[in-house]
Amino acid sequence: MTIKIAVAGSKGRMGQLIIEEVHRFEDLELVAGFDILGVGDPLGGGVIVSDASDLAEVLRRSGAQVLIDFTTPAATTENVRVAADLGVDLVVGTTGISEDLKKEMARDIDGRVAAVISPNFSVGVNLFWKLIEVAAKSLEGYDIEVIEAHHRNKMDAPSGTATEAVRVLAKATGRSEVVYGREGQGLRGDEIGVHAVRAGDIVGDHTVLFAGPGERLEIKHQAHSRQAFASGAVRAARWVASVPSGVYAMADVLGQK
């Protein structure tokens, strides 16, 4: 049986790759795509870009079972509400969503649909989060710095992946103070330092640096293309269509929990 997929942000960097990925599989069918610009453009398989403001009507008409959303925080929050109202399962990749809006999304999803929400859908980054947890627990008292680099068009800083890394590190070490960038006079304390580089067309680099007396360990992930995110998002879409309602992480999809 085929799973009917809709994509929000279908003309975006991620949306276009996700649509290519959906078309590769016989068990998946693209039934709708939404964006603000490019309405009416072909997306393959006879599907055209629908106006984002027609989301509810087109989702209903197309019989979409899963909506994959890589858009903006404001758009995603609204799209999640509409999809949950219609019983459409979700894969959400948008980053930079505030804690308040995340809670609002979880309330909209609760008990109605299944949703995989992850700031990073790559297999490597999901392992990276596990590895930094192990290192943080082992390297007691070491200074910790999170350094990320992305392309010049990225809207949010630090990245969702770095923010998740900070959450993992804070939980593993019990450290609560986070310092974003540094300037001026003063010694570092026990904080977790976070640094965001924005330049050119860097797809996404994340390093966690642990430094202690006489040594340092760096755990680093580098995305060479967005393909890893698109493949992961489509894998999550296939998975989410078969599980009970609830909010899931990519680690659930990968069986890492």
| Pairing verdict, β 47-51 and 42-44 | antiparallel
Binding of ligand NAP by 126 (CB under 6 A) = no
Residue closer to ligand NAP (CB basis): 118 or 173 = 118
| Pairing verdict, β 28-35 and 192-198 | unpaired
How far is the C-alpha of 176 from the C-alpha of 201, rounded, in Å?
33
Out of 3, 5, 6, 8, the only residue in the binding site for ligand NAP (CB under 6 A) is 8
What's 201's DSSP letter?
A: T
Vertex 113, ends 112 and 114: CA angle to 5°?
140
Residue closer to ligand NAP (CB basis): 128 or 229 = 229
Q: Give the nearest distance from C-beta 138 to ligand NAP in angstroms.
A: 28
Is 154 considered catalytic here? yes
Q: Give the residue nearest to ligand NAP (CB).
A: 12
Task: Identify the CA nearest to 246 among candidates 93, 106, 86, 121.
Answer: 106
What's 225's DSSP letter?
A: S
Within 27-56, the residues that bind ligand NAP by CB under 6 A are 34-37, 52
- With CB under 6 A as the contact rule, which of the stretches 4-12, 23-31, 101-109, 183-191 interacts with ligand NAP? 4-12
Binding of ligand NAP by 229 (CB under 6 A) = yes
Of residues 4, 150, 195, 206, which has the active-site annotation? 150
Q: Give the nearest distance from C-beta 73 to ligand NAP in angstroms.
A: 7
SS (H, E, C) 51-80: EHHHHHHHHHHHCCCEEEECCCHHHHHHHH
- With CB under 6 A as the contact rule, which of the stretches 40-48, 114-122, 181-189, 236-244 interacts with ligand NAP? 114-122
Residue closer to ligand NAP (CB basis): 138 or 225 = 225
Which residues are CB-contacts of 161 (< 8 A; sequence separation ≥ 6)? 95, 119, 120, 125, 148, 204, 206
Binding of ligand NAP by 119 (CB under 6 A) = yes
Task: Identify the CA nearest to 6 among candidates 237, 252, 229, 180.
Answer: 237
Is 220 considered catalytic here? no
Residue 10 tokens, joined: 């279908």
- With CB under 6 A as the contact rule, which of the stretches 67-75, 138-146, 170-178, 193-201 interacts with ligand NAP? 67-75
Out of 3, 5, 6, 14, the only residue in the binding site for ligand NAP (CB under 6 A) is 14
Is the CB of residue 54 less than 8 Å from the CB of residue 43? no
> Which residue ranges make up the site for ligand NAP (CB under 6 A)?
8-9, 11-15, 34-37, 52, 70-72, 75, 93-96, 118-121, 229
Catalytic site positions = 150, 154
